[in-house]
Structure 1
Amino acid sequence: MNILIVFNHPYEGSFCNSLLNSVQNGLKMASHSIDLIHLDKEEFNPVMSAQDLKAFRDRKPVDSQVISYQQRLEKADHLIFIFPIWWELMPALMKGFIDRVIFPGLAYDYANKSNTRMKPLLKRIKGVTVITTMNTPGFIYRWFFGNAIQRALIRGTFWKLGYKNRKWISYNRVKMVNQSKREEWLVKLEKQFSKF
């Protein structure tokens, strides 16, 4: 399979980077091909401009980086998103990727004239995996903050697009756990993706 990873974390020493390494190591063991979009290193601009909105309306992207990302999406069999949760949501680069790249006419179309039901156009994609880190305990994130990533991304974007195989792996209280626990998580994640 061709796996497209969309990664967002500006600090190379972050636990997100360690998770990225584990995922890539596991996928390599399983002989998958990997295409990595590193939004920070590629200096992706997350801001939706007036020109972008017109392109969105006309279904014709104009930004060369967005067009390149869309071409890479068309070749993917599975998508993996890796990012930290900051202030209960994804960072700006990741949100901008969703806003500017998940584009009508390429990623989806409307199934009816009232524009209420979507149908996916990226037919090769069989599933989406989201991997996140946060310092909030999971139960507080779910019950007090309303499980924002689940609502906004897993259901709000990928359920609406019609992808049935959706998975969210969340690492919680990352700053509070010891190094051995982090290493345990990394080994388990690598093993999981080696069987992917």
Structure 2
Amino acid sequence: MKTTIVYNHPYNKSYNHAILEAVEKIALEKGEVKVIDLDAENFNPVMTSQDLLGFVKHEHMDLQAKAYGKEIATSDHLVLIFPIWWELMPAMMKGFIDKVVFPGSFYDYADNGLSMVAKHKQLKTVTIITTMNTPKLLYKLVYGNAIQRALVRGTFKKAGYKNIKWLSLNMVKMVSQEKRQNWFKKIAGKVKKRLV
């Protein structure tokens, strides 16, 4: 079994990085792990005119994005870990979605030309783990639950993937160290159940 973890945070002492280390440890207990650290690997998130042409032709132009796509194509599980800034994902994670979730490699169009079909039939789960300082209810009611709408439904479900779970950790700056430790236990339990 193989798990690919896509991670986006520029500071290696962050709570996000601690989450990455915990998830990687759990995944290693289950099998092979590939960590894609977008910041450490200097991923260019900008969608160029060449990338857009590649999108139309169903062919990656960015070799780094193409390599990331190949990693996912050989994975049983995909985990994304990132902070939420200004109610959305950071630029590198958005660029990863733009440049890796490509037609012909990540999904195909159905015969009707409207709906999409997942290419990676072996991909059992997609797990999204985020941190933010916005309270959960405020994020849902005032800011429209942007990650749920854009990433869970508007990207992965739209592309034909079924088993998607979003684990949201809210008000991270305001909570105690004890609360953070409890979150680790909950994340560990949930991730272990999904990586089977």
TM-score range, shorter-chain basis? over 0.9
Q: 1:3·1:77 contact (CA, 8 Å) conserved in 2? A: yes
In the alignment, structure 1 residue 11 sits paired with structure 2 residue 11: yes
Q: 1:173 aligns with which of 132, 152, 171?
A: 171
5 Å matches for 1:63-142? 63-113=62-112, 115-142=113-140
Match of 1:44 in 2: 43
- 2:21 alignment partner AA: N
Q: Deviations over 1:151-184 (max 9, x none)?
A: 0000000111111111000000000001111112
Tell me, what secondary structure is at the counterpart of 1:81? strand
CA distance in 2, matches of 1:138, 1:98: 24
2-structure distance, mates of 1:78, 1:194: 11
**What letter is aligned with 1:78?**
H
User: Runs of 5+ in structure 1 lacking a partner?
Assistant: none
Distance 1:94 1:130 in 2: 11
The answer to whether the 8 Å contact 1:4/1:73 transfers is yes
Q: How large is the Cα RMSD of the aligned pairs? A: 1.2
Structure 2: unaligned runs, 5 residues or longer: none
Distance 2:190 2:163 in 1: 16
Per the TM alignment, residue 192 of structure 1 is displaced from its structure 2 partner at its CA by 3.4
Report the Cα offset of residue 83 of structure 1. 0.3
Q: Is 1:182 the equivalent of 2:180?
A: yes
2:144 alignment partner, SS class:
coil
- Number of positions where the alignment pairs a residue of Structure 1 with one of Structure 2: 194
SS, match of residue 175 in structure 1: helix
Sequence identity (%):
51
Query: Is the aligned partner of 1:35 residue 2:13?
Result: no
Deviation at 1:43, TM superposition (A): 0.3
Cα distance in 1 between the residues matched to 2:156 and 2:142: 23
Cα distance in 2, alignment partners of residues 45 and 149 from structure 1: 21
**Per-residue Cα deviation, 1:121-161 (whole angstroms, up to 9, x for no partner):** 11211121100000000000001100000000000001111
